[in-house]
Structure 1
């Protein structure tokens, strides 16, 4: 089968630097409770059997054409690491997962994933799941993990394995081919041509942009629940959402530090606008330019409304991937960037359980970080808002990333106490 547009872009990027592990994506599932490890293995193997994207390898034919081949892939390892006797099982698990992330994946050989069960205590387990970004994106990972939980829960209750509702890669590729031949594809291309006709150069907080590094620096922090509540209220008064307010906040931050008024931020999208795409765990995601115009006299309310309006337009045309844009603009292989800092609004979908045991999902890696990625997660159970700053170490030192992160959290707190009519230059 051919590759999707998103997969093709990742393939060529990886080919330029075959040993670069940054193209891995990873999550871990924190399971609180006594689980049956035999059933965990059965559930994970069943989910892999139901997910064609995790069973692919890439072949290049004599004419240079790329093809993804789906293998049966029956014999693959699922190690169980018992860390109960270590001095600090949690720290040992974190160190091991970070070490695994630094190992590159060969896309020509299956499997293109690495899964491990880490046992921290009698009633505490981490299910580590990593794979190549060519095979899976964040939305696809969510579908995959839901399938594992569904199978485990049924088997634990003594029931038969429920039939899979996940779609196939063939259906997904047929849907993408239909899109490329459609009027919608033409309309999307026209929309983006109009959006980018007089685009400004991308700017970053480091004063320059760089090639993709082999790793990234992550700084994690939380906005307290009371502040989140005030931010939500501010967004509602602007007739917008909390994600739109976060986009506006990043625009303010970049504007202040760079002086740029015509901003090109990046916004990751799922690229999934139909029923078929929403049911296939695979790689469709892309990053698209979110163009925002900012000036100091602009009110907070106007900027939040502007962010929401621009995001809505972008999302209506999100199937037109970055790879299509790069080709249209003639920047493929030039090293030119369409945008600087990226704001990634992350959600994990429905709450999950392994039988009666609650689980928490944790992101470890989201793929390449060219400049700075601001990850904004769904509020946790206590209402706090997690925000990660992932930075390219070729551009930012750890202390610089921490300082940006700290200042951004202060900006959010100041926004929470501001009036809609207040100019952003006075925040």
Structure 2
């Protein structure tokens, strides 16, 4: 057995607190048109699972409250198959099967934490759906694994030999992240981010859209997919090249201006995922991706190209300091929350630029769909930008697709369509006049809100961290001094000044300490307690009453 990586710890905690959430299920659908052999693809999947240890990982209970993991040497790979050619409505039946695959929970103690399904939609038309739990994969891993499968498939179908690309195992990656050299790099990156983010506001609120977030972020989500045409993206690429910026920096700048207009905030912290892969693990399958908080200041009177320049600088600086785990940043910045939202940012902007693995077989074409909706989201709002090559390898028309995932606690479908439409309008205005003041472009997009968002309670501040009176169930016996929960608080937080009315999160606790707190309480009390209880009742007095009420049911 070996420990979870820093990225895995976050995923595992979220899954424990909200086991019904599917926010950490990711699905890719590979589409085949032409002559296709399902028997061969099954064999290729099984062989690839044998080559990549992350897809043979299972979670193992420990006494610490956070599990370890182990690689199962030999597992049975099952690929379900459905023939929809005679279905009354193949598209409807396909949707039902896909939703079932995405929404079915994984048993984290049983490998593999991946499932596959083949759909035969019509003569010469097949689809392979692969759903992975985020504990064992990230976006780059999906492409690596599917590339390996399709390379072997192409070799077998053409009579050639498949020579898989050598790569270290995921277990070796986890060991690498525990080395003194790597930990020193993490410490340096955390210090850099702590200085960069000092005094920042860590949320973006949209007063003219959506609703107030509730105390416990529940991951319920929706999805809207937007297509940016090839002619528009050709113009974006031209403008980016002329000004010396990347396409991603250009899109991020426009997204930032959109958020500024809807929020009224001239300074934003936007999350951005990074591969976080040491060069020697470039071809390793496993969960490595991290997310960093980009801090951007927006002057609406400055040229839009200046904002693109700032965005590009922020992205490159982030890449230079990408090894800082979110939980370490939370601790360094003394950020915490009772909710399960990220304490450092509530909106994301990302690009998935790893292309669909090419398959060079006469008579067979391949394309891919990623980010299939699971009815969940990790953030209030998250946008993933995908160039056409990601979906259709070399067959695309060079347009882009944007996937807008959103919290249904915060937004309705009409809100997100408003944002997406505004984004495209701003983007068109920017590429027409990149030197114009960014705040003057497309003035009809999102007039400044009537009340300044800076006057609202700070995110994860008064709305979520302040102690709540009257939340705990009433009990006749009262709560004795020196309760078991109080003992657990003092042990985990290593503080003797904690009393029955001390809020765990205000006293320095954070999300990843919750399972340790619960495990210690279970040792003292001899009974199991769901981690979600600590997010709902965060004082020893509240928790003592809540667990007593549960025991009495």
TM-score between both structures, scaled by the size of structure 1:
0.94
Cα deviation digits, residues 249-270 of structure 1 (max 9, x gap):
1100000011101101111111
Give the match for residue 400 of structure 1.
415
Following superposition, the deviation at residue 348 of structure 1 comes to: 2.5
For structure 1, list consecutive stretches of 5 or more residues without a partner in the other structure: none
Deviation sequence 1:201-241 (CA, Å, 0-9, x none): 31133464454445421111211111112111221232101
Check 1:65–1:264 CA distance in 2 against 1; reply closer, same or farther (3 A cut).
closer
Q: Which moved more, 1:326-335 or 1:128-137?
A: 326-335
Conservation of the 8 A alpha-carbon contact between 2:148 and 2:164: no
> Does the 8 Å CA contact 2:57/2:112 hold for their aligned counterparts?
yes
Match of 1:414 among 429, 433, 451: 429
Change (3 A) 1:397 1:155: same
Aligned to 2:379: 370
Report the counterpart of residue 398 of structure 2 in structure 1: 383
**What does residue 88 of structure 1 align with?**
89
Distance 2:94 2:205 in 1: 34
Q: Is the 8 A contact 1:217 1:401 kept in 2?
A: no
Number of the residue aligned with 2:295: 291
Per-residue displacement from partner, 1:55-99 (whole Å, max 9, x unpaired)?
111112124352111113432321111111123323432332123
- Which residue does 1:338 correspond to in 2? 344
Q: SS where residue 388 of structure 2 aligns?
A: coil
1:156 Cα offset (Å):
1.2
How far did 1:318 drift? 0.8
* Equivalence for 2:157: 156
Q: For 1:395 and 1:151, how far apart are their aligned partners in 2?
A: 45
Q: Is the 8 A contact 1:113 1:132 kept in 2?
A: yes
Specify which of 228, 248, 254 is matched with residue 223 of structure 1: 228
Match in the other structure for 1:260: 265
1:98-137 CA deviation, whole Å, 9 max, x = no partner?
A: 2321222221222211110111112111110001101111
Q: Take 1:264 and 1:180, find their aligned partners in 2: how far apart are those partners?
A: 29
Alignment partner, residue 250 of structure 1: 255
Counterpart residue number, 1:240: 245
Give the number of the structure whose alpha-carbon radius of gyration is greater: 2
* Counterpart residue number, 2:323: 319
- Is the CA contact 2:223–2:373 (under 8 Å) kept in the aligned structure 1? no
- After superposition, the Cα gap between the structure-2 partners of 1:65 and 1:225, relative to the gap in structure 1 and judged at 3 Å, is closer
Determine the C-alpha separation between the residues in 2 that align with 1:182 and 1:62.
25
1:31 has 2:32 as partner: yes
Q: Deviations over 1:166-198 (max 9, x none)?
A: 321222112212366454223212211111111
SS at match of 1:197: coil
Which whole-Å CA distance do the structure 2 matches of 1:183 and 1:365 have between them?
Answer: 38
**CA–CA distance in 1 between the matches of 2:182 and 2:14?**
26
Q: Is the 8 A contact 2:34 2:125 kept in 1?
A: yes
Check the 8 A contact 1:79/1:117 in 2, yes or no: yes
Residue in 1 that maps onto 2:170 = 169
CA contact (8 A) 1:203 1:340 kept: yes
Q: For residue 12 of structure 1, report the CA deviation from its aligned partner.
A: 0.9
Which residue of 1 is the match for residue 358 of structure 2? Answer: 352
Alpha carbon RMSD of aligned pairs, Å? 2.0
Size of the alignment, in residue pairs?
425
Q: What is the CA deviation profile of residues 288-311 of structure 1, one whole-angstrom value per residue up to 9, with x for unaligned ones?
A: 111100121121111000000011
**Where do 1:267-286 residues align within 5 Å?**
267-272=272-277, 274-286=278-290
State the shift of 1:408 in Å. Answer: 1.4
Taking the TM superposition and a 5 Å limit, the aligned residue runs for 1:58-207 are 58-178=59-179, 181-205=182-206, 206=210
* Distance in structure 2 (CA, Å) of the matches to 1:386 and 1:409: 12
Once residues 228 and 12 of structure 1 are traced to their aligned partners in structure 2, the CA distance between those partners, rounded to angstroms, is 39
Contact 2:348 2:379 in 1 (8 A): no
CA distance in 1, matches of 2:20, 2:66: 22
Find the counterpart in structure 2 of residue 54 from structure 1: 55
Higher RCO by CA contacts (8 Å cutoff, separation 6 or greater): 1
CA contact (8 A) 1:292 1:307 kept: yes
Q: Is the 8 A contact 1:343 1:374 kept in 2?
A: yes
More displaced 10-residue stretch of structure 1: 125-134 or 71-80: 71-80
Structure with a larger share of its residues in strand: 1
Query: Which residue number in structure 1 is paired with residue 520 of structure 2?
Result: none
Is contact 1:204-1:371 (8 Å) kept?
no
Any gaps of 5 or more consecutive residues in structure 2?
A: 390-395, 442-553
Q: CA deviation at 1:47?
A: 1.1
